[in-house]
């Protein structure tokens, strides 16, 4: 059997700017890996992330570096020894799952957060009012005036659960100050409020609402370090290095009594379809990345009032 591995960069335009505390993007830069052989084809999509030192060029180079091994028959277990966790391994791992048709089933639909990005409080209020009927909102905030941002969203959308995400943009003094605001706004979860490298003091800390580790936990081996600091772990395929490691992380988090959240980068439905397998194991789901695209892939996920519906049969897995 002849196996081939290829990888390409695709730039997918967004319909609106996506603003978080560390910057703004107007397109999603994704890497698509394709593995073919024996009449079967598998695809996997990943997003290089500068926060972790990744670029389009070095992720493509990593994939090229293991091409010979994959084309010689390396499987998912072997892949874990060839590449570190990250976007390159994610793209290949998901392509292998897709080619083999062995992925666990995805839920037909799941409540998934609709993201309100950073803007003026009045603009965030207006954005939240348009989606006030959904079950879950995720509010991106920075350190400029997060209280006004959160209050504006809650005033416009009194019903949905709220996840607040500063993307490592706060410090201890701001988290202290925000405690009454978070409680008053009935925030369900706050995601990675402080930098992952400066979070040891979170052990035993009471923020008033549960804390979720994002940048602080990538793979199952990170869990022992964050126990006591966070109550929930955000599982992302691009951090973990694919569906294989993400399933391990979600399972290990559950075994340690931690909650599980499924997250994503801004990506197409090809990057989200494998993550839906983690969503089935999760307390919170944040997979609205494709909803930010000007045009998603044909047959991909769709939103139905804050419920993310799975791709059409045969799309992936």
- Position 38 scores a pLDDT of 80
Please determine, looking at this structure, whether the domain spanning 109-309 carries the CATH number 3.20.20.120: yes
236 is catalytic: yes
25 is catalytic: no
- Position 132 scores a pLDDT of 98
List, in sequence order, the alpha helices (H) in the chain. 56-65, 67-71, 76-82, 87-100, 121-130, 146-156, 172-184, 223-226, 237-240, 243-255, 269-272, 276-279
Quote the CA–CA distance of 104 and 8 in Å, as a whole number.
26
Please check whether residue 195 is in contact with residue 143, taking contact to mean a CB–CB distance below 8 angstroms. Answer: no
- The two beta strands, 161-165 and 136-140, are parallel
Total-model pTM: 0.96
Series of mean pLDDT values for 10-residue runs along the chain (317 residues): 94 96 93 94 97 97 98 97 98 98 95 97 98 98 97 98 97 98 98 97 97 98 97 98 98 98 98 97 98 98 98 96
State the catalytic residue, choosing from 25, 138, 236, 239.
Answer: 236
Residue ranges covered by each domain of the chain:
3-100, 109-309
- Position 254 scores a pLDDT of 97
Quote the CA–CA distance of 51 and 251 in Å, as a whole number.
26
- Position 22 scores a pLDDT of 83
Quote the CA–CA distance of 125 and 151 in Å, as a whole number.
9
φ, ψ of residue 211 to 5 degrees: the values are -105, 140
The top-level CATH class assigned to 3-100 is alpha beta
């Amino acid at each position: 059997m002849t196996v081939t591995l290829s990888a390409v960069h695709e730039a997918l335009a967004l319909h609106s700017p996506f603003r978080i505390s560390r910057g703004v993007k107007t397109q999603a830069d994704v890497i698509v890996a394709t593995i073919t052989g024996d009449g079967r084809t598998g695809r996997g999509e990943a997003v290089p992330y500068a926060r972790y030192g990744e670029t389009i060029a070095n992720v493509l180079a990593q994939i090229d570096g293991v091409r010979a091994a994959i084309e010689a028959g390396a499987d998912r277990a072997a892949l874990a020894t060839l590449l570190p966790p990250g976007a390159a391994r994610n793209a290949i791992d998901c392509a292998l799952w897709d080619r083999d048709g062995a992925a666990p089933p995805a839920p037909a639909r799941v409540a998934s957060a609709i993201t309100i990005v950073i803007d003026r409080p009045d603009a965030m209020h207006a954005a939240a009012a348009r989606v006030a009927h959904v079950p879950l909102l995720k509010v991106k905030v920075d350190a400029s005036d997060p209280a006004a941002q959160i209050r504006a969203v809650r005033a416009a959308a009194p019903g949905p659960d709220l996840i607040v995400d500063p993307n490592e943009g706060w410090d201890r003094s701001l988290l202290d100050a925000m405690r009454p605001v978070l409680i008053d706004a009935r925030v369900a979860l706050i995601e990675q409020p402080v930098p992952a490298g400066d979070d040891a003091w979170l052990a035993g800390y009471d923020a008033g609402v549960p804390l979720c580790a994002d940048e602080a936990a990538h793979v199952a081996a990170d869990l022992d370090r964050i126990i006591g600091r966070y109550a929930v772990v955000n599982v992302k395929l691009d951090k973990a290095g694919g569906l294989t490691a993400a399933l391990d992380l979600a399972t290990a988090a559950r075994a340690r009594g931690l909650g599980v959240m499924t997250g994503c980068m801004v990506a197409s439905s090809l990057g989200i379809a494998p993550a839906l397998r983690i969503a089935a194991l999760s307390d919170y789901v944040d997979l609205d990345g494709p909803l930010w695209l000007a045009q998603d892939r044909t047959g991909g996920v769709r939103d139905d009032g804050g419920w993310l519906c799975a791709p059409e049969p045969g799309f992936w897995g």
